[in-house]
Amino acid sequence: MPKYARDMPEGDALLRAAKRLQVLVGQRLEVETPHPRAAIKHIADRLDGLTLDAVDAVGKNLLLRFEGGLVLHSHLRMTGRWRVEPRGTRLTGRPWLILRGDTHEGVLWNGPVLELRRGDTAVSHLGPDILAEPPDLDTMVERLRAQPPEREVGDALLDQRAVAGIGNLWKAEALWDARVSPWRPLGEVADVELRDVLDAAHRLMSASVEGTRPLRRAYRRAGRPCPRCGTPVRSYPQGGDARTAYWCPNCQRGGHEPAA
């Protein structure tokens, strides 16, 4: 079995974290920043003793809203993880942040992005959230159409300015579900096909939030048979960040896919 780098948390993981952190909402929190890289930001000095008013997930971002209009913005990148533990749980190592309530505490480990702001400026540039209820598919399609028509749809789906929350895993699974090749230029993908892909992403990610273990049909299945037709799944780097695309060359034909 090949070894892979850890997946970047996507919108469903952040929404699950937001749901777990609801146990702290409405409480005055004790705030600590044990890790030196977090301590120098003086976040604890400004938040300790304040009431946590709300916790929201927006795409791949977590917004913790405190009294007085202060918003703590967390983005996990590849390494960060939020945990909610009973108050007083023994912790090994130095977490970036501890939010301690009456009975529970929220703990952020390896938090590469942790910023204190006023308002939602950290997420104002993002496109509509794929996990909104209902998702704003019309605006998502409009923002995708604003991209260069030669841009490959698989690459465009990862642009958080067009659609917030989709990462490499759900890109692969949504495209497979809708039978759309990641290599097709946006100009060759019909609006109905884009909506099918986005609807699949919303449906699959929402099921993940509710606890359904995702069945991976394409993601990280390179060389294994496609569950739909039996053709070996392919993989190849895509886009400026060279994120690996996974697709079935039979079920998801089209575009200028790389040579085998």
Q: For the chain, what is the total number of helices (H) and then of strands (E)? A: 7, 10
| Catalytic residue check, 171 | no
| Catalytic residue check, 185 | no
> Can you give the pTM of this predicted structure?
0.90
Q: What is the pLDDT of residue 221?
A: 97
Relative orientation angle of helices 191-209 and 11-21, to the nearest 10 degrees: 40
Give 10-residue mean pLDDT values along the chain (260 residues): 56 94 98 92 95 96 95 89 94 93 95 87 92 97 97 97 96 98 97 98 96 89 97 96 95 86
Q: What is the pLDDT of residue 7?
A: 62
| Catalytic residue check, 2 | no
Q: What is the pLDDT of residue 4?
A: 43
The catalytic residue among 20, 28, 83, 243 is 243
Instruction: Give me the domains of the chain, ranges plus CATH numbers.
Output: 11-123 (3.20.190.10), 137-247 (1.10.8.50)
Other CB atoms within 10 Å distance of the CB of residue 197: 27
DSSP class of 258:
P
